[in-house]
Amino acid sequence: MSTATPASPAVPAPRPHPSRRRSLYRGDPGMWSWVLHRITGAAIFFFLLVHVLDTALVRVSPQAYNEVINTYKTPIVGLMEMGLVAAVLYHALNGIRVILIDFWQHGPKYQRLMLWIVIGVWLAVMIPALGVLGMHMAERFL
């Protein structure tokens, strides 16, 4: 059984490509800020899991705790600590932006401006923070 119907001029052919959907949200910087918020949130979640477990070693013995804490004092983990500062700082600043979007009456109107402010403050704090973290590492490893 065939369900095909003969081409009829009265029925318009389907458009070859669906026209680009106009969306208030998709592709907006606000969408990418949400993506970053999720990624940094998940990363912080897994770090915190590890961090509670390593701190729990103070109940085992001082030696066990010191041994594990020493892995935090290596160059590669030092770079990961920089990443952690970056992730927590972004998550905190963008979290304030989300709170303002939800609770401040003009929040949605200024959401994009607030994202630029978040990025600006993030850079302004990250540069000196990376400087200090780098100095600690240089002192230790160079």
Partner 1 sequence: MTEAWTPHHREGRLAPVQEKEHDRPASLDHPRAPRRPRGIPYFEKYAWLFMRFSGVALVFLALGHLFIGLIWDNGVYRIDFNYVAERWASPSGRSGTWPCCGWRWCTAPTACAPSSATTRKNVTKFYLNSLLLLVTGFTVVLGTYVLVTFDASIS
34 binds partner 1 (CB under 8 A): no
Using CB under 8 A, pick the residue from 36, 43, 84, 121 that binds partner 1. 84
39 binds partner 1 (CB under 8 A): no
118 vs 120: CA distance, rounded Å = 5
Tell me the two tokens of residue 126.
């990250």
Give every CB contact of residue 3 below 8 A, 6+ residues apart in sequence: none
Give every CB contact of residue 57 below 8 A, 6+ residues apart in sequence: 64, 65, 68
74 vs 78: CA distance, rounded Å = 6
* Nearest distance, CB of residue 136 and partner 1, angstroms: 4
Using CB under 8 A, pick the residue from 32, 35, 55, 79 that binds partner 1. 55
Contact positions vs partner 1 (CB under 8 A): 41, 45, 48-49, 52-53, 55-56, 58-59, 61-62, 65-66, 69, 72-73, 78, 81, 84-85, 88-89, 92, 95-96, 98-99, 102-103, 129, 132-133, 136, 139-140
